[in-house]
Amino acid sequence: MKAIIAMAQNRVIGKNGGLPWPSIPNDFKWFKEFTMGKKLIVGKNTFDTLPMLKNREILVLTRRIEELSEIPNQYLINKNDLTGKIITDVSDLDPDIIVAGGAKTYVRLLPYITEFYVTHVNGSYEGDTFMPPFEDLFTNKEVVKEFDGHKVIKYTK
């Protein structure tokens, strides 16, 4: 399983349901290139803040089934919901699926993530959502992209 995230130097990944730093067009371009045509898995809160992502299938990880009843053409990952796509074992997910947020979803799926693409945003920002340390779970890291003073590092097991 793969994952993608942007994180400031102080581990901030979000503020009030959005990004805490000014727009980084090259990071948006990178996200689009990396996720185009793929399946993404996100938590409910992240799903609520996403813009329309064309040519990507979104799977929503949640425990709140009642809130998803009106989401058309989306998948619900919840072992208690018989109306959605039921995944009882995360290890059964497609290994090419990409985890795309939020913090609780990353933490929940971290044991299954074998490739983690992290845009290290230059600078520290105020925020209300943080990524806990994960780096020690990976044995290798390499810079795969650099733009506008930011680096994308690929962590692998």
| pLDDT tens string 106-121 | 998 999 899 999 999 9
Q: Global pTM?
A: 0.86
Torsion sign across C-alpha atoms 28, 121, 62, 17:
negative
Asked if pLDDT for residue 74 goes beyond 80, the answer is no
**Helix, strand, coil percent content, the chain, rounded in steps of 5:** 25, 30, 45
Higher-confidence residue: 80 or 53?
53
Least confident of 42-51, 60-69, 104-113: 60-69
Q: How many Cα atoms within 13 Å fall on the side-chain side of residue 15? A: 13
Nearest 5 degrees, angle CA 74-CA 78-CA 80? 125
CATH class for domain 7-156? alpha beta
Q: Please check the confidence at residue 89 and state whether its pLDDT lies above 90.
A: no
Residue 154's φ and ψ, nearest 5 degrees, are: -100, 120
Task: Please say if the pLDDT value at position 26 is more than 90.
Answer: yes
Closest CA to 7 of 157, 108, 155, 151: 151
Gap between the Cα atoms of 18 and 62, Å rounded: 19
Cis peptide before 102 (omega within 30 of 0): yes
Which residue ranges make up each domain of the chain? 7-156
Higher pLDDT, 93 or 122: 122
